Structures are given as structure tokens and as C-alpha cells.
DNA sequence: CTAGATTTCAAACAAATGTTTATAACTGGA
DNA sequence: TCCAGTTATAAACATTTGTTTGAAATCTAG
């Protein structure tokens, strides 16, 4: 039991430190000392710092993808060969994300990690996530495609990333933004509040009119 | 002349390296060797690595804020005491951003740097940008407020950051996304194309209906 | 209880980092 | 020409980094 305890204590400490300061800015010594664990334990249990980073992600993404796949299964079963409405797809994604770290209060850590995965250099991380979890994203985008048949493929591709940016950017910078919001508007915002606010925005964005010039050849304004 | 040449060579090299790999992941030795400049030159001309990072940002943000302020002056003069339409404000912001690095092909570098400013730890950078360039953002948000009087203040605050996330996230990850888009949709996307695609999306997002439960006390779905 | 495997630990290692120093080279005005 | 003042350079400095080592401690199965 004690050996497993070391592993989880490392993971618990590493994930909050990574989320706070990034990967390169977090040293193994900072992690191990705060986790009250010997320095060599990381290399013993994980092999390298890179592998530790990947393990931190796997602990969130594994349960998420499993849950998300199951939820999509149910949706598909319910709608048969009809297209699943966009709102339902977005809700399903949101609740799958929200449910994963429900036990801990670490949703914000999860989102911050996702933001870092995109923004930090760490080429190995992007490769790892793509190879390990790319399929669920592919499945999701295929369903989104059926839900928005009026959009050209490339336009939908870009809009999905616009919205991904909204979510990741806002939620991963939540702490700083929340401080401002509390000071200026005297309201305390939870992650769930933000998700509620995001939904109508994302739907409206996905359904915005397609500029005419995009349907044909590109043209100057 | 030669002394100034060293400074700009350092800045030119540092900005692309920072944009590619982040700040902590870019060493002074990498910068100086690629810039064909002595290692000590950075500390001599800039004082420290932190100051170099700030100088890289200042070289973009100084001309941007000046141009943006001028553009807002013109808009205000034209519209008098009427509210400036949302579309005009967004267009003005976009063109101010686009015009700054027009001489070089470094708009993508600029956006990537902005993304890093938010996502990387580098507390000193956020503080520096806030103190040095916060006023222009304040002015802009005040105008956005007049353009969207139907939005509650806090809702507008969050939506602005949703949209900021879309822009920074997409444009700062442009290279990777462009590769996918070219492979899958056989289209080469320029930054200007993306800005054209972003405009209707951002407008629709800002004008999305406000959920009823946000007007009063928060309530479960 | 004991032998073998697993885990912990302190110490050391090599490499890389930002910064400083002392000296040399260069610059432009008297 | 000569000499302050500025800039360039090589070398060294003190830290910090991820990783490895070998012995001690702990656990586990027979």
C-alpha cells in the first residue's frame, strides 16, 4: 500500500504544481519535497519527468474518454440514424468533463492542464495526447458534422477550434479572471456557472451566418 | 550603428524562439548563438532575461497601443455621443492588430506571444503588460459596453474573455491547425482569412441570448 | 522466520542555466 | 592623434536541473 501511496502523492502534488507554474518551471525537487517523497522516487516510479507529465494527464483523460464514449453511445442509441442536436452534443461533452474530477475539487486543475498541453512547448505531450486520445475527438467532430450540415467542412473545423479556445482559455485562466470578476461585479463564479454561460455563446457561435465569400473563392474585404 | 544592430538581432531572434518554445524553454545561449552575438550581450543591453522578455513584448505592444488609441479617437470623433456599433469596434481592433507587424511576416509570432503571456507562468510579464498597457484595454471595454447595453456587466466581461480566448488560442496555435486544415480541406489559410472567419462568430457570440437564470439569482439547470 | 524482491533514501553526477567579471576592441569628438 | 565612453568577448561563477548509483529499509511469499 505504501508504494502506491508514494505514486499518488507524487501525482497529486505534481498536477497542482504543473497547473500553477507550467512544466518546465516546476522542478522535480519542488514536487518531491512538497510531496514529502524522496527525489529519486519520481525516476524510480515513472522513469522520467516526461513520463510523469504524461501520467498526470492520463489520470484525467482515461476516465474522461471512457465516460465520454459511453455517453455518446447512449446518445447514438437514442437518436438512431437521426442527427443528434448540437445542444445535446455540447451538453454531453460538458457533463462528461464536469463529472470526471467531481470527487476532488480539481476541475480547474484539469482545465489548466489542458490549456498548458496546447500552449507549452512539450512536443512529446501533444504527440502523446493525440495518439492516445485522438480517436474520441474524431468521433465527436464526426457527430458535430451531422449536427451542423449547413456549415462547410473547413468552416466547422475552424469554429470548433474557436470554441475550444474560448473554453480552454477561460477555464484555464479562471483564477485570475475570477479575482477581477469578484472585485468588479461582486459575484463568485464557479466552473459550473461558467459552463452555463458558455453554452448559449457556443451555440450562437456555431450557428453564426457563413460569410458569402467563404462559399466560393477567397476575396478581399 | 553596430551596437543597435546587436540589440535588434537579439530581439529578432528571441521573439521567434520564445514564440516557438516558450520562455523557460529558451535559454540565453540558444538565443545568442543563433543571433551570432556574445552571450553576455543580453545582460549588457537588457539587464536580465526578464527584461529581454518584456522588451520583446514592448516592441509589438507600443506601436499597437498607439495605433489603436488613434483609431479609437477617430471612431469616437465620427460617432459623437452615439454608441459605436460592435462591428466597428471589432473591425478597428482587428485592423490595428493586423497593421502592426505588417512589415515583417510576424503576425503569427505576435499572437503566439500574446498566448504565452497568458498561459506561461511568468508573473512578472502579466504584471508588466497590465501596468503598461492596461489602459487601452480599459478604454476598449468601456466602448464595448456602450455597444452592448443589453448585456449585464458581468456577462459582457465573461463573453469578452470567451472571444479573447478564441482569437488568441486559434491564432497562437495557427501553425499546427493550419497543417491539419491543409491536409483535410486542401486550403491554405492566412491570418487574414482567419480574422474574416472570426468576425461573424464573435458578433454572434456577443449577441447570443442571455440565459434567464443569469438575470436573477443563480439556479440549477 | 527467512530469503528474495521491491521500495526508499542520501549522495553524487554530469549537464545546463543566468549572471558577473576583467580584458580587449572599437567609437567618435577634442 | 589620443583618449574617454561605449560595446564586444572569453572565461569563470554559483545555482539549479534531471538522472543515476549503491546501500539500507521494508515488504511479501514460502
pLDDT at A1 over 80: no
The reply to whether A41 Cβ lies less than 7 angstroms from strand C is yes
Residue A167 CB-density burial (10 A; 0-12 exposed, 13-18 middle, 19+ buried)? buried
* Distance to chain B for A214, nearest Cα, Å: 8
pLDDT at B208 over 90: yes
Contact A64, A97 (CB under 8 A): yes
Which backbone phi and psi does B86 adopt, to 5 degrees?
A: -55, -45
The per-residue pLDDT for A143 is 97
Q: Average pLDDT of chain A?
A: 88
Look-up of cell digits 545568442: B32
B185 near A CB under 8 A:
yes
Q: What percent of chain A has pLDDT over 70?
A: 91
H or E element in which residue A115 lies: helix A107-119
- Residues A120-136 pLDDT 10s: 767 789 889 999 999 99
- Residues B16-35 pLDDT 10s: 999 988 999 999 999 999 99
- Residues B93-130 pLDDT 10s: 999 988 887 666 678 888 888 888 877 767 789 889 98
The per-residue pLDDT for A83 is 95
Closest to B55 in 3D by CA, of B125, B119, B6: B125
pLDDT at A145 over 60: yes
* Distance to chain A for B122, nearest Cα, Å: 8
In the predicted model, what is the mean pLDDT of residues A192-221?
A: 77
**What's the CA gap between A117 and A219, in Å, rounded?**
35
In the predicted model, what is the mean pLDDT of residues A30-37?
A: 96
Residue of chain B minimizing CA distance to A206: B201
**What's the CA gap between A204 and B209, in Å, rounded?**
8
Convert chain B into a string of H (helix), E (strand) and C (coil): CHHHHHHHHHHHHHHHHHHHHCCCCCCHHHHHHHCCCCCHHHHHHHCCHHHHHHHHHHHHHHHHHHHHHHHHHHHHHHHCCCCCCHHHHHHHHHHHHHHHHHCCCCHHHHHHHHHHHHHCCCHHHHHHHHHHHHHHHHHHHHHHHHHCCCCCHHHHHHHHHHHHHHHHHHHHCHHHHHHHHHHHHCCCCCHHHHHHHHHHHHHHHHCCCCCHHHHCCCCCC
pLDDT tier for residue B1 given thresholds of 50, 70 and 90:
very low
pLDDT at B215 over 70: no
Nucleotides of D under 7 A from a protein CB: 6-12, 16-22, 26-28
**Probe site for chain A from B197, B198, B211, B216 (most A CB atoms < 10 A):** B197
Closest to A28 in 3D by CA, of A37, A202, A214, A98: A37
Q: Which residues contact B181 (CB under 8 A, 6 or more apart)?
A: A154, A157, A158, B187, B189
The radius of gyration computed from the CA coordinates of chain A, to the nearest angstrom, equals 20
- Protein CA at A39 to nucleotide C1' at C12, angstroms: 13
pLDDT at B15 over 80: yes
**What's the CA gap between B56 and B110, in Å, rounded?**
10
The per-residue pLDDT for B114 is 85
Give me A78's grid cell.
Answer: 437514442
Contact state of B158 with A176 under an 8 Å Cβ cutoff: no
pLDDT tier for residue B37 given thresholds of 50, 70 and 90:
very high
**What's the CA gap between B141 and A8, in Å, rounded?**
44
Q: Average pLDDT of chain B?
A: 88
- Residues A165-177 pLDDT 10s: 999 888 887 877 8
Contact A48, A27 (CB under 8 A): no
pLDDT at A193 over 60: yes
Q: Of residues 25 to 84 in chain A, which lie within 7 A of strand D by their beta carbon?
A: 26-30, 39-40, 42-43, 48-50
In the predicted model, what is the mean pLDDT of residues A187-208?
A: 90
**What's the CA gap between B68 and A33, in Å, rounded?**
48
- Protein CA at A12 to nucleotide C1' at D22, angstroms: 29
Q: What percent of chain B has pLDDT over 70?
A: 91
A121 near B CB under 8 A:
yes
Residue of chain A minimizing CA distance to B122: A21
Q: Which residues contact B137 (CB under 8 A, 6 or more apart)?
A: none
Higher pLDDT: B77 or B116? It is B77
pLDDT tier for residue B214 given thresholds of 50, 70 and 90:
low
Convert A9-42 into a string of H (helix), E (strand) and C (coil): HHHHHHHHHHHHHCCCCCCHHHHHHHCCCCCHHH
- Residues A79-103 pLDDT 10s: 999 999 999 999 999 999 888 876 6
Amino acid at each position: 500500500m505504501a508504494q502506491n501511496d508514494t505514486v499518488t502523492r507524487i501525482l497529486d502534488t505534481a498536477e497542482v504544481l504543473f497547473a500553477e507554474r507550467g512544466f518546465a518551471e516546476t522542478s522535480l525537487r519542488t514536487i518531491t519535497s512538497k510531496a514529502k517523497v524522496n527525489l529519486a522516487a519520481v525516476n524510480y516510479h515513472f522513469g522520467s519527468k516526461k513520463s510523469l507529465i504524461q501520467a498526470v494527464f492520463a489520470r484525467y483523460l482515461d476516465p474522461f474518454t471512457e465516460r465520454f464514449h459511453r455517453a455518446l453511445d447512449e446518445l447514438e442509441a437514442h437518436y438512431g440514424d437521426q442527427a443528434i442536436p448540437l445542444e445535446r452534443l455540447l451538453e454531453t461533452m460538458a457533463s462528461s468533463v464536469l463529472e470526471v474530477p467531481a470527487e476532488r475539487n480539481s476541475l480547474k486543475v484539469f482545465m489548466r492542464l489542458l490549456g498548458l498541453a496546447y500552449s507549452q512547448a512539450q512536443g512529446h505531450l501533444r504527440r502523446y495526447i493525440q495518439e492516445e486520445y485522438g480517436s474520441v475527438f474524431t468521433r465527436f467532430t464526426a457527430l458535430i458534422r451531422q449536427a451542423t450540415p449547413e456549415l462547410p467542412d473547413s468552416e466547422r473545423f475552424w469554429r470548433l477550434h474557436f470554441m475550444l479556445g474560448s473554453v480552454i482559455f477561460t477555464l484555464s485562466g479562471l483564477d485570475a479572471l475570477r479575482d477581477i470578476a469578484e472585485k468588479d461585479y461582486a459575484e463568485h463564479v464557479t466552473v459550473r456557472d461558467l459552463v452555463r454561460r458558455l453554452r448559449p455563446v457556443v451555440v450562437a457561435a456555431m450557428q453564426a451566418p457563413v460569410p458569402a465569400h467563404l462559399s466560393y473563392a477567397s476575396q478581399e474585404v
